[in-house]
Structure formats: structure tokens, C-alpha cells
Homo-oligomer: A and B are copies of this chain.
Amino acid sequence: MNDTFLKACFGEKVEYTPVWIMRQAGRYLPQYQAMRANVDFLTLCKTPELAAEVTLQPIEILGVDAAILFSDILIPVEAMGMHLEFSDKSGPILSEPVRNKSSVDRLIIPDAEDDMPFVIEAIKILREKLRNKVPLIGFSGAPFTLATYMIEGGSSKHFIHAKKMMFQNNRLFNYLMEKLSFTIISYLSAQIKAGAQAVQIFDTWAGVLSPSDYKISVLPHVKKVISELKKEGVPIIYFVNDCAGILKEVKKSGADVIGIDWKVDMADAIKQLGKKMVVQGNLDPCALFLSKEEIEERVKDILWKGEAAKGHIFNLGHGILPETPVENAIALVEAVHKYGRRG
């Protein structure tokens, strides 16, 4: 079994630096596009055999050291009782955004086995098909990131409604964050029980907050989720986009691994997180438009800086872009394996 990724998560010695790529199963792969020609995005997420198939595609094609379940961060939000649709132009749409007490009251804390059985089933299929070739990562959105979609009713530019609730009705905001935290704990526990060997919590929008708002209104919920999940014994990765200004707080999350975006220098991030932390990241996804030689140079630079941390899992600083040439993603994985840590 290739357990390099899991060892690295726990800061143990590894033979080489493991690498996987956020959104590694997806639109940049012709094999995925072929699948999507016949089935819409949400149906794909909800059909275990198909979700498992696209999850496996990049394992062979790229040679990455971990698989990550193909799904969407809004799946548990739908299971909480909201109506979810995807528009090609504006992304996810949650009709009837959550903006008052009665709409938070109505949200249920879903039971993954009953309310999202397709996720559990996909994980079981994947563990069987992977035959321990590489570990399987489960995932969820973080409480604040899911809250923004629920309050805004979809994607947002300035997050005015979410911040207004946080600022003007902190009791209601906390009530929603608590329901989300319970949902995430239960959802990820079920994923782990079904076979997920690590979990990543995506805080895509935490970086739109001032450090003090993050510290006061968001971090306590993240800490609670992570401390509950720690009981399950698998590594917990906390990815925070636009983390540069809040790393000192993110450090306190309790996660085994901190995933960072590309807008902070790896050396600076490690300085702020401390050398006892395991880090994941952080190549700019757009760097995959460079030549293979230049990708190699950038990989070497990040690997070299990453040596200062207790452990390093290589990744992009955000999801791979649909326009990315597949051969450059392959070149990235090869470069990490060639130039990473040794023993």
C-alpha cells in the first residue's frame, strides 16, 4: 500500500513527498468531460458508481498519492433541507437563502447514511476498487464557507448578507454555525466510518474576513469540528483559501495538516504556522500554464521551502483550472516525486 500520504499527514518520515491536486477529478480531464456529456453535475455526484469512476480517473492518469471523493461541498447543505441547483453561468443557486431564525429552525442535521447514501456508497465502492493502492480522502466544506452559500443563496462577491448576519445578529449566525458544525461532524464521521482514510475541510471563504472576525466568529466552530473528528483517528486537513492574513489563528485549529493557497510564500507560512505543523500546498494553479521546465523550477522552490515544516504534502494552492493541459499536471506530479524529500 502507498501510505506515503497518510504518513506525511502525521508528520512521519516518508520516502518521497506525496502529492495530490485539489479538483484532480474534473473538467480538465477529457475522460471526465466524456462522462459529463451524458450526465449532469448533480446526478454525477449522486450516482455512486459514476462518482467512484471519476474519482479514480486521475489516479492512473496523474499518478497522485491520494484519491479524493468526487462530490460537491453543497451536498450536505441540500441534505439539510435547502433546494440546490447549478447554473452554468452563476454556479450554485440555493433558493430561499437562510436569513432569519425560522429558516435556521427548519434546517435538519442530516444523517449521512439516510440522507446522503450515495456518498457513503461511493466511498465503499472506492475503497474496494482502490485496493489500498492509494488512500481515499473524504471532505466537507467548513462551517463558515457553507454558511456563506446558505446566507447569500449562492456564490458572492462581497458576502454582504453573510457578514450582515454575523455583525447584526451574531446569535442567529452562531445558531446557524452550530447546526452546520454538527452536520459536518456527523457527515465526516460517516465518511470515515464508510472508509475515508483522511478528511479535508475546505474553508474557501474564511479569507474574506478580518483576522479578528475570523478569530471570534469562525475559529471556535472550526476547532469544535476538528476536536470532535480527531476521535476518529484519521488525519484532518484544514484548507484555508486566502489564508495569508489569518495564519496565526488558523494554526490554532487543531488540524493535523494546514492547506494553504498560493498567495502566501511557503517559507512565510511555515514561519507563522510553526515548524511542528504539516503543510499542504501551494503552487498557483495558473503555474500549470508554464512550460514543464518552469513548472519543475517552481515545484523545486516550494519543496525546498517546505523542508522547514514537520511534513509537506504537495498540492496546488487552489483547485486545478479546467483549461489546464493534462500533460502539465502529470509533469507536476513527476517533478514532486523526483525532487521531494528523501527518507
Q: Which of B210, B245, B284 contacts A213 (CB 8 A)?
A: B284
Residue of B nearest to A324 (CB): B160
Residue of B nearest to A283 (CB): B210
A15 within 8 Å of B (CB atoms): no
Listed stretches A2-10, A99-107, A116-124, A261-269; interface member: A261-269
Smallest beta-carbon distance A209→chain B, Å: 7
Residue of B nearest to A208 (CB): B263
Contact B284 A160 (CB under 8 A): no
Listed stretches A54-62, A139-147, A161-169; interface member: A161-169
Given contacts A167-B290, A245-B268, 11 further A-B contacts (CB under 8 A): A160-B321, A160-B323, A163-B289, A167-B294, A209-B284, A210-B263, A211-B263, A242-B263, A244-B244, A244-B263, A245-B265
- B residues less than 8 Å from A287 (CB atoms): 167, 210
- B residues less than 8 Å from A286 (CB atoms): 158-160, 163-164, 167
A63 within 8 Å of B (CB atoms): no
- B residues less than 8 Å from A163 (CB atoms): 284, 286, 289
A92 within 8 Å of B (CB atoms): no
Known: A167-B294, A244-B244, A290-B167. A268 touches B160 (CB 8 A): no
- B residues less than 8 Å from A294 (CB atoms): 167
Contact A207 B158 (CB under 8 A): no
Interface string of A301-339 (1 = CB under 8 A from B): 100000000000000010001010000000000000000
Contact A210 B160 (CB under 8 A): no
Q: Which of B211, B245, B301 contacts A212 (CB 8 A)?
A: B301
- B residues less than 8 Å from A158 (CB atoms): 285-286, 321
Known: A167-B294, A289-B163, A290-B168. A212 touches B265 (CB 8 A): yes
Known: A167-B286, A245-B244, A294-B167. A211 touches B268 (CB 8 A): yes
Chain A interface main SS type: helix
A159, A163, A210, A263 — which one has the most chain B CB atoms within 10 A of its CB? A210
Smallest beta-carbon distance A227→chain B, Å: 25
Contact A289 B212 (CB under 8 A): no
Smallest beta-carbon distance A260→chain B, Å: 10
- A230-268 contacts to B, CB under 8 A, are 242, 244-246, 248, 262-265, 268
- B residues less than 8 Å from A284 (CB atoms): 163, 209-210, 213
Residue of B nearest to A263 (CB): B245
Smallest beta-carbon distance A295→chain B, Å: 10
A115→B178 CA distance, assembly (Å)? 57
Interface string of A201-240 (1 = CB under 8 A from B): 0000001111111000000000000000000000000000
Contact A264 B289 (CB under 8 A): no
Known: A158-B321, A213-B284, A244-B244. A168 touches B289 (CB 8 A): yes
- B residues less than 8 Å from A321 (CB atoms): 158, 160
- B residues less than 8 Å from A262 (CB atoms): 210
- B residues less than 8 Å from A164 (CB atoms): 286, 289
